[in-house]
Structure 1
Amino acid sequence: MIKFFRKIRQQLLVQNKISKYLFYAIGEIILVVIGILIALQVNMMNEQRKENDFEIKILKEIKGNLLTDLNEISEDIGLMDDINKACLDVKQHLQTLDQPTDSFSISSSILRVTPHFSPINSGYNLLQSHGVRIIKNDNLRNDISFQYDMLYPYYKTYEEERSRFHALHSEPQLLDYFSMYFDKTKDPSFYGLYFEISLEDYQKLKSDSKFLKLITAIAFENKTIQDRAKRVEASINALISNIEVELEKKE
């Protein structure tokens, strides 16, 4: 093609047709510029397609992470329901019965349970490593950043406070009265954890006002965190829905 244009230019020069030559040269330059612009446009479209594909990949991974997080936080909320009920059962048992029962041992063992939420951050870490601006939707990008940079860490501080409370207060008093065993084959049991208490220790426990206060404190700590967990659960559900809407637009 280049040889063809060069041949035409040479013929015009030989024929001394300067005006036609200049007109042709300008036209040739315009064609070259148009070719360059088309190439740049094609290249830009390819880059945009790659960015769009990568954005879809990240959004799908984040959605997958959130679905796993949702299952875990929902299970934790269920465990916290068990803890709330156990606090009521143990308190009522101590106030109304003169000796321990299997149900009392089960409920007492549940008082030791402290659910721990461990969100998966692989999708968000991938997003951060390539720059959050990959997510073109400003609102969605802000929602994702808030979920991982604010909401999850904020919830973690509540879990850490409960862990400190448990280590300093709950665990020592429980160990004063109960013997703990781990046996998945033993029935009844709570996730393999089984509590036993002697009749003598049970009688002491009934008259221990500090233990009744401890049960109230455990219930308060648990309910506070459960309320936070439900907010996290609602936020995860909303973010999953927003990501699904965005993916439908892009796919």
Structure 2
Amino acid sequence: MIKFFRKIRQKLLSENKFSKYLIYAIGEIILVMIGILLALQVNNWNEYRKQGQKEIVNLKAIKNDLQHDLNTEFIPGISYYSKKNKDLSRLRDFYLNKEIIPRDSLLKYFRNNWGEWHIILNKGAFENLKSTGIDIISNDSLRTKISSLYSNGYPEIENRVNIVKQFYDNEFGPILYDNIILYDSTHSHDDFDDLKNRKQIGNRIIQHYYLRTWLFERSELVKSKVELLIGDIDKEIERLDK
């Protein structure tokens, strides 16, 4: 192609057709500029495509972490809190004189509140996204939702989980361990009355109930945000893949 253009230039010069040569030269410059612009456009398209692939990889990683948190932490954790607090609410009402619990049922409610769930959330994909640059997420709304969940929602859940766990470890668990024989099958009448009259047990039960409720309600809210965010990520991945 270069030889072809060179021959044309030489022919025009040899024939002293300067005006035609000038027009030709301008045309050749325009063709070169068009070629450069096309090359830049192709290069920009390739970079955009690579950026889009990186974005998809990061979004899929975020989605996988969220799905794992939903399946292994939020759903079973919320179910745990719900079941535990149903029994704890019976004990709370018992100590507030709002409910009568038979002696043979009292131990069951205490046993059912032995131990505590500790939600552990995955943030590895988000940390990788931050190191890559969160601006790689091109959708402004989606980027804000992801950042808000990991910067506000998750830390709040972790803080509440730690408060509940610390209260259980330092206050609620020890008083159960020190005052109740969990492996006993029943309580005598004297044991029953003794448990009923211990204000420190009742106070810790009531406080633990409200701390769990406080954590449970917030976990439900963040769980719904996780579910919505997973749906938003799926839509964005589908859009980027087109």
Shorter-chain TM range is 0.7 to 0.9
Is residue 199 of structure 2 the alignment partner of residue 209 of structure 1? yes
Output one character per residue of 1:1-53: Cα deviation in whole Å (capped at 9) or x when no partner.
21221222122222222222222111111111100000100111111111122
1:111, 1:218 within 8 Å by CA — same for their partners in 2? no
CA distance in 2 between partners of 1:153 and 1:92 (Å) = 32
Is residue 75 of structure 2 the alignment partner of residue 74 of structure 1? yes
Is residue 169 of structure 2 the alignment partner of residue 196 of structure 1? no
TM-score under structure 2 length normalisation: 0.86
CA distance in 2 between partners of 1:98 and 1:153 (Å) = 41
* 1:30-109 mapped onto 2 (5 Å cutoff): 30-71=30-71, 72-90=73-91, 96=100, 99=103, 101=104, 104-109=106-111
Question: Identity of counterpart residues, as a percentage?
Answer: 36
Unaligned runs of 5+ in 2: none
1:114, 1:163 within 8 Å by CA — same for their partners in 2? yes
CA distance in 2 between partners of 1:141 and 1:79 (Å) = 32
Q: Partner of 2:176 in structure 1?
A: 174
TM-score under structure 1 length normalisation: 0.83
Q: Partner of 2:239 in structure 1?
A: 249
1:61, 1:123 within 8 Å by CA — same for their partners in 2? yes
Is residue 227 of structure 2 the alignment partner of residue 237 of structure 1? yes
Output one character per residue of 1:44-84: Cα deviation in whole Å (capped at 9) or x when no partner.
11111111222222222212221111122111111011211
Task: Report the more deviating stretch, 19-28 or 148-157.
Answer: 19-28
Output one character per residue of 1:108-163: Cα deviation in whole Å (capped at 9) or x when no partner.
23323322222222332232122111111111110010010111011211112112
Q: Partner of 1:153 in structure 2?
A: 155
Across the aligned residues of Structure 1 and Structure 2, the Cα RMSD in angstroms comes to: 2.3
Secondary structure in structure 1 of the residue aligned to 2:36: helix
1:135, 1:141 within 8 Å by CA — same for their partners in 2? yes
Q: Partner of 1:120 in structure 2?
A: 122
Unaligned runs of 5+ in 1: 180-194
Please list every run of at least 4 consecutive aligned residues from structure 1 whose deviation after the TM superposition is greater than 3 angstroms.
88-99, 103-106, 197-204
Report how far residue 88 of structure 1 moved. Answer: 3.3
1:112, 1:171 within 8 Å by CA — same for their partners in 2? yes
